[in-house]
Amino acid sequence: MNSRPIKKPRDPVDGVLLLDKPVGLSSNDALIKAKRVFNAKKAGHTGTLDPFATGLLPLCFGEATKFSEDLLEADKTYEATVHLGIMTTTGDTEGEIIEQREVDVTREGIEAALARFRGPIFQVPPMYSALKRDGKALYEYAREGITLEREARPVTIHGLSLVEYKAPFLKILVTCSKGTYVRVLGEDIGAALGCGAHLNALRRVQVGALTVERMISLEDLQAHPDPLSLLAPVDALLSSFPAVVLTPELAKRFLNGQRLALGKEDVSLPAGLGRVRVYLDSKLLGTAKLQEYGILAPERLIAVQPAA
C-alpha cells in the first residue's frame, strides 16, 4: 500500500514580489524558496544577481511572468563597493587573489577616473559569467583554466557617482543599461587608477521603475502571516508604459487578438506611439503596440478574461 503523502496542488498566484536577495544565495535558489512560500504554480525572476550580491530581485508569479522580459531590458541601479589594490580571478570576493598593489589615489583622481566611464562605453565580458560559447558557459571554461577571447560589447553608464571613499574602499552608485557587468566596471576603475581592484560588495536598489520601498527579506517573507498581501499587481512591471482604457466591446476584440482601429473610437490615446498597457476599467488586459493612425496591435495578453 502506498503511504506517501499526497502533494498539495499548486496555487494560481499572480503578481510581483520585490525580494531583498541575501548574500550567498543564487537568484534561482531565492526564487525556489519564495515559490514554496506561495505554493505557486508558475514563477520566474527578472535578471540574475550573483550569489555575493544582494538587493532588489523582482520575482514574477503567474500572469506576471509574461511581462518579465520587460525588466530584463530595463536600466538598473546598484550600490557597489570597490576594493582598490587587490585583484581577484573573478573580479569579486568569490575569487582568489592574483595581484596586490599599493593604493595611492586622491579624491580628485577618483572623480577624474569615474568621469571616463560615464555614457556609452565598451566592456569585455568576464570569463566568470553565464555567457555561452559553443553551448557552454564561460565560467565553465574559466574553472578549467581556459581563457577565451571575448569581444567588447557596448553598454551605457547613465549615472556614476562617488558616494564615499575610505581607503582602500570606494563606494559608488551606478545606473546602467542591460548587459553591464558592475564587476568589470569596478576592475576597470581600478585599472584607470593604476592600482587595480575587485568588487567587495554589490547591492541592487532599482530595476526599471521598481525601487526598494516595498522590498522584503526572505526571512520576513517566510514568517509573514499573509504573504499574498505582499504581492504587487502584475502591472507593476509596466508602469513606464502609457495606459489605454478600452470599452467592453473593444476589450473582447482585443482579448481575441484582433488589431483595433481606435482613431474614431471613444478612447483616449497617448500622444506618442509605441508600447502601451491596456485595460478594461482598472483590469489589465495585456500589452500592445500603438501604431500610426491609432492602430492598437495586441502583444501579450492576460489569460483570464475579465467580465465585460
Catalytic residue numbers read 50
Please state, in angstroms and rounded to a whole number, the distance separating the CA atoms of residues 288 and 278.
Answer: 7
Written as nine digits, the cell of 174 is 551606478
Alpha helices, DSSP H only, in 39-106? 68-72
Closest CA to 306 of 274, 280, 268: 280
120's grid cell: 556609452
Handedness of CA 184, 186, 190, 192 (dihedral sign): positive
Q: For residues 272 and 270, what is the distance between their CA atoms, to the nearest angstrom?
A: 6
Query: DSSP code of 66?
Result: G
Phi, psi dihedrals of residue 274, rounded to the nearest 5°:
125, -160
Cα separation values, 53 from 22, 35, 148, 172, 260, Å: 7, 20, 25, 15, 45
CA angle 242, 61, 305 (to 5 degrees): 60
The C-alpha cell of 275 is what?
508600447
Which residues have C-beta within 8 Å of that of residue 44, sequence separation ≥ 6? 31, 59, 60, 65, 68
Residue 213 CB partners (closer than 8 Å, separation 6+): none
Three-state secondary structure call for residue 210: strand
Q: Read off φ and ψ for residue 259, nearest 5 degrees.
A: -75, 135
Q: How far apart are CA 36 and CA 109, in angstroms?
A: 49
Phi/psi at 250 (nearest 5 deg)? -65, -35
